[in-house]
C-alpha cells in the first residue's frame, strides 16, 4: 500500500477533531500548492495558480467515531456516536480513546447473549446499552487515564485484501483526501485551483459550507466514497456499483435531498471519461449526501460534480475499495479540470 494512503487511513480524526489529518493534509499540500492555510473552522485550504476560473476540489477529513460521555463507578465508559453508525456493528469492536496523556485501548462490550432473556435476544442491542471496557477497576482509575469528551476511533487498520483490493479504517473519506493530494501534484492548468480538506462532513457537511462561501468558486468537485453493491444480500437494483469497474459519477444524492447534478456538469465528466478511456460508472444515490450537496447551494449556486470511489462496508470499522477505482478518480479529476479551465 502507498505509504501516504496508509498514513491517511490510520490517522485519527472524528468530526470536529480533525487535527491529526489536517496536519498531514497541510504538509502534503505545501509540496504542490502556492499557499496553504487552515481557516477558523478547521478546513485546510491549498491554492495553486492565480488566474482564470476558480475551481474548488473538496474531500472531507473527518471520520465517524465515538465520544466519552460518562464513566461508571466500576470504571466502564459510556459513549455517544459521532456520525452515522449502525449499532449492530459495535459490540466487540476494538477502539482507541484519544486521551490527553496518550492512546487508551478498549473493547466495546454489552450484556452477553447467554444472559439475555428471550425477548432481549429478539432486539438489536442499542448503543446506549453498550460500554467501553478499558480494564480499569473503578471510576477513579479510569479518570487517571481518560476524560469526558475524549474522542474515540475504531482501532486503525489498513492493508491489501487481495490483488487490487485494499482495506482500512476511515476509507470514507481518507481515500478522497488521497485522491485530492495526488490530483494537486499533477495539475498544471490556467486556473486558480483550491484543494480543500473539509471538516465535519459526517455531521452535516459543515466545513463545505464555510469553505465554499469563503472561496466562492466558479466550479467545484466533491471527491468521496459511495456504497458498492457487489456483496451478498445487496440487490443490483439497490446499487449496481462494483469494485474495480471505475470511479462513480454521481447524478443525484439522497433522492434529491442532496445534490442534483446539472445535465451540463454531468456531461462534462461523462464525455471526458469516454474521450480519455477512463473506467467509470454512473450512480443514482437514494440515501446519503456529500460535501457537494452543500457547495452547490452556496451564494447564487455553484456548478458542482461529485465523484466517488465505490466502497464496501461504508461507515464500518473497516472499508474495502479498489485501488484501480482510486486511480481512475485521479485521472478523471485531472482531465476534467483541464477541460473546465478552458471553458
d(CA 66, CA 95): 9
Q: What are phi and psi of 153, to 5 degrees?
A: -115, 160
Provide Rg for the chain, Cα atoms: 21
Active site (annotated) includes residue 201: yes
Of the candidates 18, 28, 201, 202, the residue annotated as catalytic is: 201
Q: Which residues pair with 158 in a beta bridge?
A: 168
Closest CA to 247 of 202, 201, 310: 310
Residue with cell 502534503: 28
CA–CA separation, 326 vs 287, rounded Å?
A: 22
| Cβ-contact 49, 35 below 8 angstroms | no
Dihedrals phi, psi of 65, to nearest 5 degrees? -175, -160
16 backbone φψ class: left, alpha, beta (φ>0; ψ -120 to 50)? left
Residue 189 C-beta-side C-alpha neighbours within 13 Å: 25
CA proximity to 211, closest of 46, 34, 17, 16: 46
CB 290 within 8 A of CB 258: yes
* Catalytic residue positions, numbered: 201
Amino acid at each position: 500500500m502507498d505509504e501516504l494512503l496508509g498514513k491517511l487511513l490510520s490517522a485519527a480524526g472524528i468530526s470536529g477533531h480533525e487535527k491529526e489529518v489536517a496536519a498531514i493534509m497541510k504538509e502534503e499540500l505545501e509540496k504542490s500548492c502556492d499557499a496553504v492555510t487552515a481557516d477558523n473552522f478547521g478546513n485546510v485550504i491549498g491554492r495553486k495558480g492565480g488566474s482564470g476560473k476558480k475551481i474548488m476540489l473538496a474531500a472531507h477529513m473527518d471520520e465517524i467515531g465515538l465520544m466519552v460521555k460518562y464513566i461508571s463507578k466500576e470504571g466502564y465508559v459510556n459513549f455517544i456516536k459521532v456520525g452515522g453508525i449502525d449499532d449492530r456493528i459495535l459490540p466487540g469492536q476494538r477502539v482507541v480513546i484519544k486521551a490527553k496523556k496518550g492512546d487508551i485501548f478498549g473493547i466495546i462490550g454489552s450484556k452477553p447473549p447467554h444472559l439475555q432473556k428471550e425477548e432481549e435476544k429478539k432486539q438489536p442491542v442499542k448503543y446506549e446499552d453498550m460500554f467501553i471496557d478499558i480494564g480499569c477497576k473503578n471510576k477513579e482509575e479510569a479518570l487517571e487515564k481518560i476524560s469526558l469528551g475524549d474522542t474515540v476511533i475504531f482501532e486503525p487498520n489498513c492493508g491489501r485484501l487481495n490483488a487490487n483490493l485494499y482495506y482500512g479504517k476511515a476509507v470514507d473519506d481518507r481515500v478522497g483526501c488521497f485522491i485530492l493530494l495526488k490530483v494537486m501534484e499533477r495539475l498544471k492548468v490556467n486556473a486558480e485551483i483550491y484543494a480543500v480538506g473539509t471538516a465535519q462532513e459526517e455531521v452535516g457537511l459543515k466545513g463545505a459550507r464555510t469553505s465554499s462561501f469563503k472561496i466562492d468558486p466558479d466550479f467545484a468537485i466533491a471527491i468521496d466514497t459511495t456504497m458498492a453493491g457487489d456483496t451478498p444480500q445487496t440487490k443490483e437494483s439497490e446499487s449496481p456499483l462494483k469494485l474495480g469497474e471505475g470511479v462513480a459519477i454521481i447524478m443525484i444524492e439522497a433522492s434529491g435531498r442532496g445534490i442534483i447534478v446539472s445535465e451540463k456538469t454531468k456531461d462534462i465528466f461523462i464525455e471526458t471519461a469516454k474521450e480519455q478511456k477512463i473506467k467509470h460508472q454512473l450512480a443514482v444515490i437514494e440515501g446519503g449526501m456529500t460535501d457537494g450537496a452543500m457547495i452547490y447551494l452556496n451564494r447564487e449556486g455553484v456548478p458542482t460534480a461529485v465523484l466517488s470511489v465505490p466502497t464496501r462496508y461504508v461507515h464500518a470499522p473497516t472499508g474495502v475499495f479498489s485501488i484501480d477505482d482510486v486511480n481512475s478518480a485521479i485521472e478523471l479529476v485531472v482531465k476534467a479540470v483541464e477541460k473546465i479551465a478552458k471553458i
